[in-house]
Amino acid sequence: MQHLPVPSTATAPAPAAAFASGGFQVRADLGQHFLRSPESARRLLERANIPVGAQVLEVGAGLGTLSATIAASGYRIWAVEKDKRLRDQLCRQLGAFGDRARVTIDDVRRVDLDGHLDARSTLVSIMPFDADLSTALIAHVFASSRLARGLVVLPSRSADLLAADASHGLRIEEVDGIARADFWPPAPAALRVVAIERRQPCRS
């Protein structure tokens, strides 16, 4: 399985700092906490092991820091974000990548994933830092047979809930940690970076 190299992002801008200094009000109901640096996004992408040519779905694209890192690495990114206030920011971040990047401003639960995702797509997302919401969103998107696997940042409680529920047919494996301070505002609880894959059906 081939993977594209992840380019250095050391000189890329950090949108979270500008939004923080500008007094942007995060929405607690969306579990909003934004990645502070492109270097953090680079580390996450290195852990995702996305196959060459795979389409990437990002749920809760936020300020586009992770989205831009994915697109700059040569992958096709579909960034879905519910907060309409972030439309212009996402378009600025991703506009230079042309057809390789797509932005949808909507609740992912109202989006036709089966109709617009390629087969064997990959989810790479920083999920909302609300444990129940992130758990529900992961279960929803993986109801689409188009998603094969994923790498997500989510609250520890979400990882525990997903791992304890076999009904969704997913295998959850913690692959890394990430600091609360890597986000603005800082995450209120411990986080995990987990890989998600579909369980293989048993054969008789």
Question: What tens digit of pLDDT does each residue of 18-67 get?
Answer: 999 999 999 999 999 999 988 999 999 999 989 988 999 999 999 999 99
Tokens 């997302």 — which residue?
125
Q: Is 115 helix (H, G, I), strand (E, B) or coil?
A: helix
Q: Name the residue among 161, 168, 170 with its Cα closest to residue 197.
A: 170
pLDDT of residue 201: 52
Low-confidence spans in the chain with pLDDT less than 50: 1-12, 202-204
Torsion of CA 139, 144, 148, 151, to 10 degrees: -40
Q: Which residues pair with 105 in a beta bridge?
A: 81
Burial 169-204 (b: 16+ CB within 10 A, else e): ebebeeeeebeeebbbeebeeebbbbbbeeeeeeee
pTM for the whole structure: 0.90
